Copies of this chain bind each other. A is one copy, B any other.
Amino acid sequence: MPSFLPIDADSDFSIHNIPFGVFSTSNDSEKRCATRIGETVIDLRELSRSKAFDAVPGFNASLFEQSTLNDFAGQPLKLRRAVRSHIQALFTTGSEHSLERNKDLLTKASHNASNVQLHLPVRVGDYTDFCASEYHTANAGRLMKVPGPPLPPAWNHLPIGYHGRASSVVVSGTPITRPRGLRPPAPGSTEGPTFGPTKSLDMEYEVAAIVGGQGNELGDSLGTGDVLENVFGLTIMNDWSAREIQGFEMIPLGPFNGKNFGTTVSPWIVTLDALQPFKTSLPRRETVPEMASYLCEADEKPTFDIELDMTVIAAGETEPTHVMHSNLKHLAYSFGQMLAHHTVSGCNIQPGDMLGSGTISGPEPKSLACLLEITERGTKPFKTSGGQERVWLQDGDRVDMTAVARRKVDGENANVGFGVCSGVIKPAKV
């Protein structure tokens, strides 16, 4: 499947990827749907208007006339899959529908990735955050001093989760303002809490599933096997956290102001179809209870082998400091299980809803996916590449997260990557 577009050997965006996003340009500030191959961002509205999708049965010209991907995400898998395959054909040398010789349309629809502005790819209706890594759940329970055992009793039986804030989900590149709030007194102190900017600002490396298909009506449920139909694709997600604000407020109703000041997602939604070659099994757990029937996975390989990396570019430095290498396959629960658990109550999900995985920490020290764990709640500093010490994020620090699934096809790299999920910390409001 060689494309006639130039694609670097290590590109996240091989012809085997075909992710979906939303962009604008300096010449046309209207937000419109796009895909990306190599360094080329391809305007799907332009292709649609030029009738390039007329060969796809059931394609509706209005789908790529929207400023978000919600309408397209809400299509049946069959149509989403046909559109993606057709895009691959459009940009493949020698295929029936190849655009290789249609220089006019190629010129109109192609933009260099460095010249476009990327936007939030969907309007997020509801955002839910799970806690699917056993490593993170146990570490965070211990470090946040949650009452009871480090691993909550329910965790072994179901993927615990909570409702997050949808309004503050932003796209990669959006600065994050350091939040203010009530910070608890020191243990044993007779003083009250103090108000001010958080002193323990953290990131969490997560992956989010963006809901697609029809979802379910209120009162109905979906099963683990509905994941391909009802998950449009995945993005990287940074669940920024103000640890002392979170710790003070979260018993018994869960995280609130410690999390709701911003959640960053990467701009390209990578479809589950693109990730099928990377399917793998869930990790073997030490003590797994019998799962409730609604949480059983018929699929023996319900998760994905995707390598995850995180760097911090500390304020005043230019060289990134590599702080994490982890893998999606460390999660103990699949996105199918999260989908089934979320809807078993009858709760309705809708296209554009977002399901965060929780922090994807693994078993190795290098696979810890937030500073809470990396620095043992601020007690063990790490050194930045420029020689600074860090326990929490400082103003001006930038966090970059990347994800890629790697394989070769016919000796060529056929990587499926996510691009970058990036955010810089701005000082708190006075």
User: Residues of A at under 8 Å CB distance from B?
Assistant: 125-126, 131, 141, 144, 146-148, 152-154, 157-158, 160-168, 170, 177, 179-182, 184, 192-193, 195, 218-221, 242, 245, 248-258, 260-262, 289-290, 292-294, 341-342, 344-350, 353, 426, 429
Chain A to chain B: the 10 pairs with minimum beta-carbon distance, closest first: A254-B254, A147-B147, A177-B219, A257-B345, A162-B253, A179-B345, A163-B163, A260-B347, A195-B292, A146-B252
**Contact: A429 with B260, CB < 8 Å?**
no
**Contact: A254 with B162, CB < 8 Å?**
yes
For A179, list chain B residues within 8 Å (CB). 344-346
Is chain A's interface secondary structure helix, strand, loop, or mixed overall? Answer: loop
**Copies assembled:** 2
Assembly CA distance A44 to B290 (angstroms)? 57
CB-CB nearest in chain B for A347: B260
**Contact: B195 with A293, CB < 8 Å?**
yes
User: Which of A126, A179, A221, A353: most chain B CB closer than 10 A?
Assistant: A126
**Contact: A195 with B294, CB < 8 Å?**
yes
User: Which of A161, A253, A350: most chain B CB closer than 10 A?
Assistant: A253
**Contact: B163 with A164, CB < 8 Å?**
yes
Q: Report the minimal beta-carbon distance from A95 to chain B, rounded to whole angstroms.
A: 41
A251 touching B152 in the complex, CB below 8 Å, given contacts A126-B167, A170-B218, A182-B158:
yes
Q: Report the minimal beta-carbon distance from A354 to chain B, rounded to whole angstroms.
A: 12
Assembly CA distance A46 to B296 (angstroms)? 54
